[in-house]
Amino acid sequence: MNDWKRQHPAAVFISFLSNLKEMVISLIAIFVLGQTSPGLGSNFYFVIMGVILFLSLVNGFFKWWTFKYHLVGNELNAKQGLIFRKKRYIRKERIHSIDINAKLVQRLFGLVELRIETAGGGNEPEFKIIALEREEAVRIKQELLQKEVRYFEDVLADNEHEDIEDGAVVDSDEGVAGAVEELPSFRWELSGDRLLIAAATSSGVGIAATFIAVIVSQAPQFLPEAVIEEYVRWFIQSSILMIGALIAFILFAAWLFTVVTTILKYGYFTIEKRGNDIHISRGVLEQRQLTLYAQRITAVRIVQNPLRQPFGFVAVFVESAGGGRQDEDLSTILVPLCKRNEVNSILEETIPDLAIDPEYEGLPRESLRRYLFRLLIPALIVAGVVSYLSPYGWIAIVLPLIAVLVGIWQYKDAGITQVGDILCLRKRVFSKLEVIVPRKRIQSMMMTQTVLQKFDDLYTIHVSILSSVTGKTFSVRHIGRWQKEEALGWYSYEVNDGSRINDLEF
């Protein structure tokens, strides 16, 4: 596979359709949000968008024509550009994740999208081909995963037709790029009933409800003025029960929306462990196959929202230099839903170095009032303003009570501990979050102290790791002095006499 290759010609139309989708979304947003200028009619926007789409089609053709790639030795090379030529060289050992997606637009042409990410790739993947035959994408993926086989190929250069056994088989007719089919040592599948539970307890209801509320609030501008006056008068004169029913309807519609989107997103979810690689497949409409290197995972996050907590269900995410998605907070979901007591057994099979069951050390008693004041003061201000301005403002008196309960909840769930070379942090904003990170993956550890924290000798710990885009920092507020000293002593690579420890692995 040493010749330069182009992606499938359908890439021109896939790029065009993607731009068209973004244009339609922008057009809907303009009409719904009413941001059009009085001097510019809707025809003006249609003409402008038509010109942009035509230029997008021309640009897509030149991108397809000038983009070429090939694999040679241990490098994946790509070049692109008509006037300004751009070349990329990606070494196999620097690759952090390989992602094969089959979005709707790709499935229209029977193709897939290949994404390869490395550390420091920025907002976009280091390498992306938007239109590729599935067989070609799989072959590239297998070629990039054949580090060990490449070694054997060099050793056995004079015996090029030998087969390699012991879990891996090389097809001598197709070469190394042909196939190494290694049986998975571990497989986990999200069952149908758990998929329904994950969809029903998803935490995206708030975002969906906000979106639906915006749509409902903009609807009056499309209705006749007489209807609007009648509607507003009816709404103002409605009882609190009627207003509550409207809010309940919006929340129910948002919940239905999140149920459907979650099922489409995590349907057919499976994990397979092959050697040191973790293969994650998922998706009903948009099918995704992601491969992560287990040894390059920098942290594990265990998230439990309040809806799942009574049933003991959690979701598990992993942090890596590649593979993160915007809709998952730039992380990769490892398990959409499982019992908390099942997490350790899954990690033992996939990321054994991080399979621990920590016992967290709680925060000092002085921390409690910090958590309470931080929520109680804003709640009192909001409750006072709402009570003064709204006829039903008296209901806002529940806000301070909710703030106190949430503050106590956050205090009880916050904790920190060290287990060997692994640091564990736990906190709660609304959902409970646990972070498990090995010392050698921590980029920096920092302690800060505000003026108010000085009165109680409290600190905030910040732990930064390498993750998608620019990295990620996890913090726990209001830890005690002894917890600060323990954490810094644990992280320091200096022994008591001030000398550096030299035998640690980085």
- Non-local (6+) Cβ contacts of 133 within 8 A are 8, 110, 111, 112
Q: pLDDT tens digits for 88-98?
A: 888 887 787 88
Q: pLDDT tens digits for 227-237?
A: 666 666 666 66
Q: Which of these, 143, 136, 92, 146, lies nearest to 114 by C-alpha position?
A: 136
How many Å apart are CA 253 and CA 251, to the nearest integer? 5
At 10 the three-state DSSP class reads coil
Q: Where are the alpha helices (DSSP H) in 34-111?
A: 42-66, 104-107
Q: Where are the alpha helices (DSSP H) in 330-397?
A: 343-350, 366-389
Using CA atoms, how far residue 323 sits from 40, 56, 93, 126, 150, in Å, is 42, 27, 16, 11, 24
| Phi, psi dihedrals of residue 73, rounded to the nearest 5° | 60, -125
Lateral strand order in the sheet of 459-465: 442-448, 459-465, 472-479
Here the tokens at position 387 are 């009570």
At 113 the three-state DSSP class reads strand
How many Å apart are CA 434 and CA 301, to the nearest integer? 6
How many Å apart are CA 304 and CA 342, to the nearest integer? 14
pLDDT of residue 14: 85
The CA radius of gyration of the chain, in Å to the nearest whole number, is 27
Classify domain 5-148 by CATH number.
Answer: 2.30.29.30
pLDDT of residue 476: 94
pLDDT of residue 217: 65
Q: Which helix (H) or strand (E) holds 19?
A: helix 11-33
pLDDT of residue 335: 92
Q: Which helix (H) or strand (E) holds 423?
A: strand 422-428
| pLDDT tens per residue across all 506 residues of the chain | 457 888 888 888 888 887 777 777 766 666 655 555 555 556 666 777 777 778 878 888 888 888 888 888 778 888 888 777 788 888 887 787 888 888 888 888 888 888 887 765 555 556 788 888 888 888 888 888 775 444 444 444 444 444 434 434 334 344 434 445 567 889 999 999 999 999 888 877 667 667 666 666 666 666 666 666 666 666 666 666 777 777 788 788 888 888 898 899 899 999 999 888 899 999 888 888 888 888 888 899 999 988 899 999 999 999 886 656 666 667 888 999 999 999 999 999 999 989 998 999 999 999 998 999 888 888 888 888 877 777 666 777 888 899 999 999 999 999 999 999 999 999 998 899 999 999 988 988 999 999 989 988 999 999 998 776 667 899 999 999 999 999 999 998 765 555 554 444 43
Task: Give the CA dihedral 329, 331, 335, 341, nearest 10 degrees.
Answer: -90
How many Å apart are CA 292 and CA 322, to the nearest integer? 8
User: Any idea where the domains of the chain sit in the sequence?
Assistant: 5-148, 187-354, 363-420+440-491
Using CA atoms, how far residue 294 sits from 117, 179, 278, 320, 321, in Å, is 15, 21, 6, 9, 11
